[in-house]
Amino acid sequence: MLDEMAARLRSKGVQIVAVSIDHERANLDKFLGARGRWSLTIAHDPKGEVADRLQPEKMPTSYIIDRQGIIRYVNYGFVPSDAGKIETRLTELAAAGEPAGRRGKQR
């Protein structure tokens, strides 16, 4: 779901980054190999340093971070119905970050 969202939102300046905390790189490689091409960026953090720093209440957790590096929204856990809420928040934040002259213009 997040990869499809990344493909849809790329043109709006949204970048989705997934962080794998699998200890074994082979597990991540197997997962990545199940799909030939990815739209989102995937990072491998086998030591779990990102999770240690952010201290999520549960996994997976999604963080929406603005262009200044400020966490704007956090979605703890994930059920399929969360995808629409996450995409709406990403779209709103992307629109708010555009220069005023580009907001609302049709392409």
- Report pTM: 0.79
Query: What is the tens place of the pLDDT at every residue in 35-79?
Result: 889 999 999 999 999 999 999 999 999 999 998 899 999 999 999
- φ and ψ of 84, to 5 deg: -65, -40
Query: What percent of the chain is predicted at pLDDT more than 90?
Result: 83
Band of residue 98 on the pLDDT scale cut at 50, 70, 90? low
Measured at the alpha carbon of residue 35, what is the angle toward residues 91 and 17, in degrees to the nearest 5?
35
The domains located in the chain, with CATH, are: 2-96 (3.40.30.10)
What is the distance between the alpha carbons of residues 58 and 69, in angstroms, rounded to a whole number?
Answer: 22
What are the Cα distances from residue 56, in Å, to 11, 13, 25, 29, 52? 29, 26, 22, 24, 8
